[in-house]
Amino acid sequence: MRHDLVIADGTVVIPGDGTIRADVAADDGTISAIARPNTLSGARIVDASDKYVLPGAIDPHTHHGIYRGLEADAESESRSDLVGGVTTIGNFFRRAGSYEDIMESYFAEAESNYYHDYFFSLGLLSFEHIDEIPLIIDDLGITSFKWYMNYKYAAAEKFGVDCEMRDDFGDALVKTLAAQDAPTTLGYHSENVEITNALSGGNVYITSETEDDESDSGEGYEVMVEEFPDYAEMQSMVAGAALAKAHDYDDSFYAVHISAGRTADELAALKTAGYDLRGETCTHYLTLTTEECDERMKVNPPVRGQSDRETLWDRVADGTISCIGTDHCANVSADKIGSGIRDSALGFPSSSTMLPLILSEGVNEGRISLERAVEVTSTNTAKAWNLFPKKGTIRVGSDADLAVVDLDETKTVTPELLQGAADYSIYDGREVTGWPTHTIVRGEVVYEDGEIVGEKGHGTHIDRPI
């Protein structure tokens, strides 16, 4: 049989099964055969000898459309993602108003521009949004949602909704999700805003709304850590998990962007106590420390100290932290960098460096195994966000989303290398070892030896439940 595509003679990594040398074939967008090396024939053959074949990476935590609009971000950021072996992203999206009325235009912008597949996770901001959950699942094919604890007391002013997102809102949200027949996921931003508001003088977002004389005060990145302390994250995560468990929903509770070692340790304690939940950290918390950061790295929660970084790696290795995301936002330095830390914008681009950094700082530095790297960048993520086994694994019948990786290849990170919209990278100048040579999305080679060879519009929305 002659297949559409064969990835030949690579070392295939399948969590739970280990690594095997094999050929992997794809037909009609899905994996059709896995066989002994150099035994399959295909219309297109990619030589993967001396390389590793991984399930395509999944970044579940992006914010496309925040700064530049979804149409622009879908094109530029998915193109950039291919450089780093990302084949699927989850986009957190929130708006006031009915999602039934809103989403048609967003699907249209996305479908014509994404190079790879994507799914939406909707931020719920009001009781009206909670009432819409069954319709969102049945009509829109969206089963993942987000509870933004940082918007507590601020949602009415920020979004114009008639809701302050207090705990009565959260209680109704969790109970409604737990009552659905379809599997759902609740992403949870852990932050006690009563603490962070007090420490930041009520300016919870630390944005350009502050006065110029404050922006030029000479404060450094440490102000972020002081005003968004680790215990405000830790306490909120525990409280949210407890509410989820009270409604027998802890197995669908997902703590996003864990930044603090203390939070990761509490997550481990909850699991020991019988909680079945998931936690995510981001590559910037694993690869940077406060002392290395400036306005480019402004994000909430902030990058913390070296001990936090090492604890997070330990918790990735021991299974406490299940998934890696990036909290990716596409912006350019003119919009990002202000006159000081307070006057600078939140967020930065980083999806395309996710897998290479985990390979470089995790696998090649001996912190985690290659199989564990695949779990936290693909397989576990697919399971957490209701994509598995369509995504996140190499098995017959799964989508042929693959990254062919050279673990020994070192590249210096530059914006030009990453081919996205941003004119900067928080990793600019960093040498990273472990890069894809080829990225395949649903059986199509879309990135090859430094060149984007796919076409925008090839990506599609993943309707869930699978």
Domain contains 43: no
Written as one string, the DSSP assignment of 376-411 is IIIIHHHHHTT-TTTSSS-STTSB--EEEEEEEEEE
Given a cut of 90, whether residue 183 has pLDDT beyond it is yes
Preceding omega of 465 cis (within 30 degrees of 0)? yes
Q: What is the pLDDT of residue 67?
A: 95
pLDDT digits (tens, 9 = 90+) for 424-458: 999 999 999 999 999 999 999 999 999 999 999 99
Distance separating alpha carbons of residues 452 and 150, to the nearest angstrom: 37
Task: Domain of residue 172: give its range.
Answer: 56-393+409-429
Domain contains 377: yes
Domain contains 437: no
Q: Which is more confidently placed, 41 or 218? A: 41
What lies within 8 Å, CB to CB, of 163 at 6+ separation is 125, 126, 127, 155, 156, 169
Backbone angles phi, psi at 170, to 5 degrees: -60, -40
Confidence bin at 207 (pLDDT 50/70/90): very low
Given a cut of 80, whether residue 213 has pLDDT beyond it is no
CB 255 within 8 A of CB 191: no
Domain contains 353: yes
pLDDT digits (tens, 9 = 90+) for 226-255: 999 999 999 999 999 999 999 999 999 999
How many structural domains are present in the chain? Answer: 1
pTM of the model: 0.96
Domain contains 29: no
pLDDT digits (tens, 9 = 90+) for 79-129: 999 999 999 999 999 999 999 999 999 999 999 999 999 999 999 999 999
Q: What is the pLDDT of residue 200?
A: 86
Helix (H, G, I), strand (E, B) or coil at 118: strand
Domain contains 127: yes
pLDDT digits (tens, 9 = 90+) for 53-62: 999 999 999 9
Domain contains 119: yes
CA-closest candidate to residue 310, choices 234, 361, 244:
361
Kindly report the CATH number assigned to the domain that includes residue 251.
Answer: 3.20.20.140
What percentage of the chain exceeds 90 in pLDDT?
A: 95
CB 182 within 8 A of CB 135: no
pLDDT digits (tens, 9 = 90+) for 325-357: 999 999 999 999 999 999 999 999 999 999 999
Report the chain's mean pLDDT, rounded to a whole number.
Answer: 95
Domain contains 434: no
Distance separating alpha carbons of residues 84 and 434, to the nearest angstrom: 10
